[in-house]
Amino acid sequence: MRRIGCVRLMSAPGAIVSSAPARGASGPPPSDPQRALREIALEFSPRVEEAELGLVYVDLTGVQGLFGDERAIAESLRRRAAVRGLEVRVGIGGSRASARVAARWGESTPAVAPGEDAAALAPAPLALLDGDPDAPALLRRWGLRTLGELAALPAVSLFERLGREGLRLRDLARGVDRRPLAPWQPPRLVEASVDLDWEASDLAAIGELVWRLAGEVAAGLAREDQDAGRLEWSLRLCDGSLREDDLTPAAPTREPAALVMLVRRAIESRPPPAAVTGMTLRAYPVRVARAQPSFTDPPRPSARTLAEVLSRLGALVGAGRVGAPELRDTHRPDAMTLEPVRESPAPARAGGARTAAREATGRGLTGRGLALRRVRPPARAAVRLAAGRPAHVSAGALAGPVVASVGPWRSSGEWWRDDAWRTDEWDAELEDGTLCRLAHDGAAWFLDGVYD
């Protein structure tokens, strides 16, 4: 009979992992709690599925002969987690749903008896349903509150209103889980290594090692018809230490020359502190679909050329300072992070862009309003106030009395962080007709932009 275990971190509701020591844990907290949780589950079964952050499912079918009954297995899982610095809750049932309920509410009975899944799920809230996150809200509008109430609905009526998804949700509410476990698989690697009888003390000698190993890695990738999506290497130094580093190419590749160039440039930007006695190069293979270039789209740079340019920039300014800006999920102005540069998708067809422009013009969405040209980074400004409003502005070449101003507009957020932000913004017109955006962060004034 199928038996599924659910192991859930108790750091915070919703499986939010905390770096603070867990209550009841005997060891220091791990640097990667999710990885530690997965490794603990793998000690009991090779079939482990990572469901979400802080929660894994483990197939416990047939392991009772090794670890004892299910209560003993749950206690062993908790003890192993405590040694790793984690506090977890464990639930065991015949399906993912019943195991998850047992992990959340099973204070004294962490295991749901075989055949009792529907009864254990009946009082659980609809929030435990997997799948469409909007489904619980829809079901609550129907007046449903628990999985038992959902399980009691007629299958035909649910199918008429929600289709196959309705039947799947009803099955989960009854403890019927038809989807097989999706076991975690370790990332596949293509690796090459060499140990030297002598010491490579200069970059030219290290470059020869890179060329040798990159050729072996490229050959391994070609045999599997895959490309390197990520590269890692470790340099064994003469003082016994290990120097490790990694990079993500702008586009996956298996060309030996491109791999050599990427790794050599990275090593040149961060040379080892001692002579090298050995090296290991690893590539994480990914499969890239081959596509024929379009005759109508504008030409695009080759993946090799893009990777070479980025690696040279990384050697000049540092690999961590080269990337593509990505907006953060926050209201903080201009908040962004640098992510590895990826090959951009094919551009939209010109005809579609022209059609969209014509439609926008027809709706009157173009040719109206002013465009704000942002100053990045914002320039420091000297602002003199009169009656609490800007009266004179001086910011480099832009200077003069203010003849009209509108504001302030307050924007603030993330009060719970040490770097909480608060900004007052003004739109000001200078005597010469210049329209500009001023910002005050509570300590200093800045020129944030100029209107065209």
Q: What is the CATH number of the domain that holds 275?
A: 3.30.1490.100
Q: What is the pLDDT of residues 76-100, one digit of tens each?
A: 888 888 888 888 888 888 888 888 8
Do both 134 and 194 map to the same domain? no
Do both 93 and 206 map to the same domain? no
Q: State how far the Cα of 100 lies from the Cα of 58, in Å rounded to an integer.
A: 11
Q: State how far the Cα of 375 lies from the Cα of 330, in Å rounded to an integer.
A: 20
Residue 146 lies inside a defined structural domain of this protein? yes
Show the DSSP H helices in 106-176 as ranges: 117-121, 135-141, 147-151, 155-162, 164-173
The β-bridge relationship of strands 324-327 and 336-339 is antiparallel
Highest mean pLDDT among 15-29, 83-97, 228-242, 415-429: 228-242
Q: State how far the Cα of 325 lies from the Cα of 445, in Å rounded to an integer.
A: 26
Tell me: cis bond preceding 285? Omega within 30 of 0 counts. Answer: no
Do both 205 and 166 map to the same domain? no
What's the whole-number mean pLDDT along residues 370-397?
Answer: 89
Residue 183 lies inside a defined structural domain of this protein? no
Domain count for the chain: 3
Do both 194 and 332 map to the same domain? yes
The confidence score (pLDDT) of residue 427 equals 93
Residue 365 lies inside a defined structural domain of this protein? no
Residue 429 lies inside a defined structural domain of this protein? yes
Q: What is the pLDDT of residues 193-206, one digit of tens each?
A: 999 888 888 888 88
Q: Which of 119, 146, 173 is the last residue of a domain?
A: 173
Tell me the C-alpha to C-alpha distance, in Å, between residue 400 and each of 327, 361, 408, 435: 35, 37, 20, 11
Nearest CA to 282 out of 192, 185, 188 is that of 192
Please report, rounded to a whole number, the percentage of residues in the chain having pLDDT higher than 70. Answer: 81
| CATH label of the domain that carries residue 91 | 3.30.70.270
Please answer whether residues 238 and 277 qualify as being in contact, where contact means their C-beta atoms are separated by less than 8 angstroms.
yes
What's the whole-number mean pLDDT along residues 369-377?
Answer: 83
The confidence score (pLDDT) of residue 115 equals 80
Whole-prediction pTM value?
0.52
Give the side-chain half-sphere CA count within 13 A for 152.
10
Residue 218 lies inside a defined structural domain of this protein? yes
Please answer whether residues 94 and 38 qualify as being in contact, where contact means their C-beta atoms are separated by less than 8 angstroms.
no
Instruction: Sort 427 into a burial class: Cβ within 10 Å, 0-12 / 13-18 / 19+.
Output: buried
Question: The domain containing residue 436 runs over which residues?
Answer: 372-451
Residue 253 lies inside a defined structural domain of this protein? yes
Do both 101 and 198 map to the same domain? no
Please answer whether residues 400 and 391 qualify as being in contact, where contact means their C-beta atoms are separated by less than 8 angstroms.
no
* AA letter at 64: Q
Please answer whether residues 10 and 88 qualify as being in contact, where contact means their C-beta atoms are separated by less than 8 angstroms.
yes
Do both 218 and 164 map to the same domain? no
Please answer whether residues 388 and 399 qualify as being in contact, where contact means their C-beta atoms are separated by less than 8 angstroms.
no
Residue 194 lies inside a defined structural domain of this protein? yes
Do both 37 and 163 map to the same domain? yes
- Residue 382 — pLDDT band, cuts 50, 70, 90? very high
Q: Which of 173, 199, 233 is the last residue of a domain?
A: 173
Do both 130 and 250 map to the same domain? no
Nearest CA to 318 out of 328, 310, 326 is that of 310
What's the whole-number mean pLDDT along residues 292-311?
Answer: 68
Helix axes 70-83, 33-42, angle to 10 degrees: 140
Do both 199 and 168 map to the same domain? no
Greater confidence (392 vs 122) lies with 392
Residues 6+ apart with CB under 8 A from 68: 76
Of 81-90, 147-156, 385-394, 415-424, the one with minimum mean pLDDT is 415-424
Do both 84 and 232 map to the same domain? no
Do both 216 and 126 map to the same domain? no
Q: What is the mean pLDDT of the chain?
A: 80
Provide the 10 A C-beta neighbour count for residue 38: 17
212's enclosing H/E stretch is helix 203-223
Q: State how far the Cα of 332 lies from the Cα of 381, in Å rounded to an integer.
A: 21
Residue 433 lies inside a defined structural domain of this protein? yes
Q: Which of 113, 138, 173 is the last residue of a domain?
A: 173
Do both 128 and 70 map to the same domain? yes
**Owner of token pair 């698989």:** 185
